[in-house]
């Protein structure tokens, strides 16, 4: 695997950042995961715009989009894969051991690996830990993902592939790496960004293309929803067949199936929607 690190491509074994990189010492970094298909990145402009929003939220200098695009093109070229997960990581750079960032530049790492398509349907759990919709990091895609790692491990222990968080007001928020949609009485709803969820790119496209509504939802909507589905870059739309101990309709519900069809058609048209 060839990885872009601070200005050039390196073999994975030689791709190095300082052990004092702020991204490692205090998690002061941001990232994007972009899907590539036959060497073409999907929705790259939206990912770069979100990278900039996350950088501003953390007080990092704006990433140089031209440089990131050059790095993305070089990494795609050097690592041919059919379906790929491109990871763009941007951090506060080399720093002393303290938590003060200082002026030590930034680090940019871009890597790509091949992935398999996710199953069309999956099981999820809910977790008691909360997303802080009023926190400084709300809605930012930072490398401080440890809480998601813990929640995902809990999901795996329980035979599920994703964990859903409430926010501090006990409203439905999002998954560890996905946004959540529910179907109630034939209408599709997803929590608003004010719930503290990430402004997911797949979420935005799904809302735009299917007319889903952004609605503040109680957690117990999951006990009554007719259908539930997840959205994310690597899933597109993925049906949910179990939430905790509640089995939903087996297979893929009709509203979810329709959303999947619309998404596949529209996303196929335009790689940078
Ligand atoms: N929520 C979180 C916490 C995420 O990490 C992600 C993606 O990784 C998403 C939602 C889905 O966002 P996107 O559709 O942009 O991949």
Return the closest-CA partner of residue 196 out of 225, 234, 160, 170.
Answer: 170
**Residue among 59, 245, 217 nearest 160 (CA):** 245
Q: Using CA positions, which residue lies closest to atom 6 of ligand 1?
A: 177
The three-state DSSP-derived secondary structure of 191-219 is: CCHHHCCCCCHHHHHHHHHHCCEECCCEC
- Cβ neighbours of 169 (radius 10 Å): 14
User: What angle do the packed helices 201-210 and 44-58 form, to 10 degrees?
Assistant: 130
* This prediction's pTM: 0.96
Neighbours of 116 (CB within 10 A): 8
241 lines ligand 1 (CB under 6 A): no
Q: What pLDDT score does 99 carry?
A: 62
Q: Which of 139, 150, 200, 203 to mutate to test the pocket of ligand 1 (most atoms within 8 A of CB)?
A: 200
The alpha carbon dihedral of 39, 270, 237, 34 has a sign of positive
* Ligand 1 centroid to residue 178 C-alpha, Å: 4
Q: Which atom of ligand 1 is nearest to the CA of 176?
A: 3
Select from 53, 52, 73 the least CA-distant residue to 63: 52
Element (H, E) at 173: strand 172-175
Residues 6+ apart with CB under 8 A from 213: 187, 188, 189, 190, 207
Q: How many CB atoms lie within 10 A of CB 216?
A: 13
Residue given tokens 């222990």 in the structure block? 157
Q: State whether residue 169 is helix, strand or coil.
A: coil
What is the model's pLDDT at position 18? Answer: 87
DSSP 8-state assignment for residue 171: B
Predicted confidence (pLDDT) per residue in 133-170, tens digit: 999 999 999 999 999 999 999 999 999 999 999 999 99
Q: Is the four-CA dihedral 252, 131, 52, 142 of positive or negative sign? A: negative
Query: Closest ligand 1 atom, CA of 174?
Result: 1
Burial class (CB in 10 A: 0-12, 13-18, 19+), 219: middle
As a whole number of angstroms, the distance between CA 179 and CA 232 comes to 7
CA angle 79/82/88 to nearest 5° reads 50
The tens place of each residue's pLDDT in the chain, 273 residues long, gives 999 999 999 999 999 888 888 888 888 999 999 999 999 999 999 999 999 999 999 999 999 999 999 999 999 999 999 999 999 999 988 876 666 666 668 999 999 999 999 999 999 999 999 999 999 999 999 999 999 999 999 999 999 999 999 999 999 999 999 999 999 999 999 999 999 999 999 999 999 999 999 999 999 999 999 999 999 999 999 999 999 999 998 889 999 999 999 999 999 867 888
Ligand 1 atom nearest the C-alpha of 231 is 14
* Euclidean distance between CA atoms 20 and 130, whole angstroms: 30
């Amino acid at each position: 695997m060839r990885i872009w690190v601070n200005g050039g491509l390196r073999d994975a074994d030689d791709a190095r950042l300082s052990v004092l990189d702020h991204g490692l010492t205090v998690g002061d970094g941001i990232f994007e995961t972009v899907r590539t298909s036959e060497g073409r990145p999907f929705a790259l402009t939206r990912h770069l715009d979100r990278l900039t929003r996350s950088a501003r939220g953390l007080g990092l200098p704006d990433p140089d989009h031209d440089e990131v695009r050059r790095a993305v093109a070089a990494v795609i070229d050097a690592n041919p894969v059919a379906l790929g997960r491109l990871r763009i990581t941007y951090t506060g750079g080399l720093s002393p051991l303290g938590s003060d960032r200082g002026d030590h530049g930034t680090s940019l790492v871009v890597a790509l690996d091949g992935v398999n398509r996710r199953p069309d349907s999956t099981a999820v759990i809910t977790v008691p830990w909360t997303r802080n919709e009023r926190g400084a990091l709300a809605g930012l895609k930072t490398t401080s993902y440890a809480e998601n790692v813990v929640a995902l491990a809990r999901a795996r222990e329980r035979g599920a592939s994703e964990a859903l968080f409430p926010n501090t007001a006990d409203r439905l928020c999002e998954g560890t790496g996905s946004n959540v949609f529910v179907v109630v009485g034939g209408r599709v709803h997803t929590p608003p960004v004010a719930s503290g969820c990430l402004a997911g790119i797949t979420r935005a496209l799904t809302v735009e293309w299917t007319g889903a509504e952004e609605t503040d939802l109680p957690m117990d909507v999951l006990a009554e929803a007719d259908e539930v589905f997840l959205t994310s870059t690597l899933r597109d739309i993925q049906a949910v067949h179990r939430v905790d101990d509640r089995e939903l309709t087996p297979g893929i519900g009709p509203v979810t199936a329709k959303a999947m069809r619309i998404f596949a058609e529209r996303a196929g048209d335009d790689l940078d929607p």
